[in-house]
Amino acid sequence: MSAAVELAPKCPVCLLALGQDHRMCYFEGVRTGAWNSSSEWMEECRKTAQEMAGVEPAAPAALPAPSTTVRKCGVCRQPGHNRKKCPQTAAAPAAAADAPPPPPPETWVKLPGKSYTFPPGRYYFGDICYPLQSDASEWYDKVWGGEFNYDEGIFQKGAITMAVFRTAYGDGGYPGSDGHEYSVDAGVIGFVPVSMFSETEFLAGYTSGPGRIIDYKTKVKFTTDGFGHFTVAPVPFGGGQHIEIRTAGCDEDEDEY
């Protein structure tokens, strides 16, 4: 009879010969100590492999202690709320709204934009050359011409604010929505407080008035689109005269400016 062939011992799990590469064989991993932990779904397999390999079962890993970190607000650093619900965040816009406006400038400055809301008062609406050049005021040539090169815009110094912008076609006569014809000789229309000139001298020089002097008991907003359309309107609307002057597309004879 032929001698019995001695077979190499095999792994009872993957049936590969012991000593070979068992790859994912859990039994061999436990036997060699290469694997020390496993996920929950392999727990029974781990125990079986430990028993077959003669390895004492490992004590279950201790669960991490619950976190004691207290989350705090990113604004006030206090617990119990986040930055969106922080009282300081809610109070900030209210505080900004209640804050007093910045003091007006002490020298003439040009403000941005093409509109401005003036306080209640008495104002001139029309070509500003008539009232300002009829007076000994230095604003027209020294300030507006010398410092701003007769540029259009909104200008302010202290409590005084004035607006002046160019018409669409320069000089001419432009009808207003109030029925008044506004004469223009400097190519501009503006809104000026009467405190900037002598009202008596202006009215004595212009009996009919190239522009109009108007009293507003409420705030009044001057607006232009930058293309020759001018509006003054009380705020709130309906509290005084609302006047519009459209210098673009006017049928009157105008000179080129």
C-alpha span between 86 and 52 (Å, rounded): 61
Domain map of the chain by residue range? 10-59, 109-246
pLDDT in single tens digits along all 257 residues of the chain: 555 555 555 665 555 555 555 445 655 565 666 555 544 435 555 566 666 666 665 566 666 666 667 787 877 778 877 877 887 776 666 666 666 776 666 789 999 999 999 999 999 999 999 888 765 567 788 888 888 999 999 999 988 999 999 999 999 999 999 999 999 999 999 999 999 988 888 888 776 668 999 999 999 999 999 999 999 999 987 777 899 999 987 654 444 44
Amino acid at 189: I
On whether the CB atoms of residues 133 and 120 are closer than 8 A, the answer is: no
> Residue 29 has what pLDDT?
61
Report residue 36 CA to chain centroid gap.
Answer: 58
State residue 145's pLDDT score. Answer: 87
Cα–Cα distance for residue pair 129/114, rounded to 1 Å: 20
Contact 165, 171 (CB under 8 A): no
- Predicted local confidence at residue 237, as pLDDT: 74
- pLDDT (0 to 100) of residue 212: 93
pLDDT value, residue 40? 42
Q: What pLDDT score was predicted for residue 164?
A: 97
